[in-house]
Homo-oligomer: A and B are copies of this chain.
């Protein structure tokens, strides 16, 4: 928990959110899940995160109902509806970072499949709606840098990829 336990006495929904997704690494793990990453080792390799912390975070996300752990052998992690509902917040935070650091050259571009591009406000430039993540493709943008990482997830993102479908492709 990112907040002291006595923070339960704060009457604010943002604090409630941060108790679940405010810890170090948690939002980056969920971002990878939206992109389709499902395996422990892929998350670990892509995030350069300590295995101990990744294990703790995944346990917490499953306990909080944002992820499910499935499979009898090596588990796969999938977003629940509660997890999927986080997409607008995640996208808004990403856009804020993009606008601050590389305003003219986005690292990633999201495409509403068969329709238009996703604008900064999360609306499709084609239909004007806010597509659900499953209807989106992530494309490398002009600000992307392919030289920094060689893990399977980073490699898989060098070409367009439908969100929520397995990454790396198997």
Chain A residues in the interface with B (C-beta under 8 A): 2-4, 6-7, 9-18, 20-22, 24-25, 27-28, 31, 48, 82, 85-86, 88-90, 92-102, 106-108, 121-122, 130, 144-145, 148-149, 154
Q: Is the Cβ of A31 less than 8 Å from the Cβ of B14?
A: yes
Assess A92 versus B95: contact at CB under 8 Å? Given A13-B102, A14-B28: no
| Contact yes or no, A11 B97, CB < 8 A | no
Task: Please judge, given known A-B contacts A3-B24, A24-B22, A82-B100, whether A11 and B88 are in contact too, CB under 8 Å.
Answer: no
Closest 9 CB pairs of A and B: A17-B97, A89-B92, A13-B97, A13-B98, A16-B97, A89-B93, A14-B94, A88-B92, A11-B145
A16 x B101 contact (CB < 8 A): yes
Known: A28-B18, A107-B11, A148-B11. A96 touches B86 (CB 8 A): yes
With A82-B100, A149-B9 as contacts: A2 and B24 at CB distance below 8 Å:
yes
> How many identical subunits does the complex contain?
2
Given contacts A11-B107, A31-B14, A98-B13, contact A6 B89 (CB under 8 A): no
Taking a contact as CB atoms under 8 Å apart, the answer to whether A149 and B10 are in contact is: yes
Residues from chain B with a CB closer than 8 A to the CB of A20 are: 97, 100
Q: Which residue of B lies closest to A2 (CB)?
A: B24
Do most interface residues of chain A lie in helix, strand or loop, or is the interface mixed? helix
Q: A4-B48, A22-B24, A92-B92 are in contact. Are A99 and B121 (CB under 8 A)?
A: no
Q: Which residues on B sit within 8 Å (CB–CB) of A144?
A: 11
Whether the pair B2, A14 counts as a contact (CB closer than 8 A) is no
- Distance between Cα atoms of A24 and B26 in the complex (Å): 12
